[in-house]
Amino acid sequence: MSNEPPPRRWNPWNLLLLVPLLMLITPWFNFDGPRVFGLPFFYWYQFLFVPVGVICVGVVYAKSRGERR
């Protein structure tokens, strides 16, 4: 018998996946100003959260890929 603890399904790094989900709450970004390069906030916020979401998913993947399933 091995003294190794059983693998857990939940990883604290998974909480980072809430960031892209919370960024989709429409009332937080459904307005015109401030403008960046002439783009209303509504548009540049959505353009910004694409790389932020990719970074969050990438970090979670990198931190949890070495675990046994």
Model confidence pTM above 0.75:
no
pLDDT band at 59 (very low <50, low <70, confident <90, very high): very high
The ranges assigned to domains in the chain are: 12-64
Residue 32: the pLDDT is 84
Concatenated DSSP letters of 3-45:
-PPPPPS--GGGGGGHHHHHTT-GGGT-S-PSPBTTB-HHHHH
Q: Is 8 helix (H, G, I), strand (E, B) or coil?
A: coil
Rounded to whole angstroms, how far apart are CA atoms 7 and 59? 20
In tens, the pLDDT along 10-46 reads 788 899 999 989 888 888 878 888 998 898 988 888 8
Residue 7, pLDDT score: 64
Residue 51 has pLDDT above 90, yes or no: yes
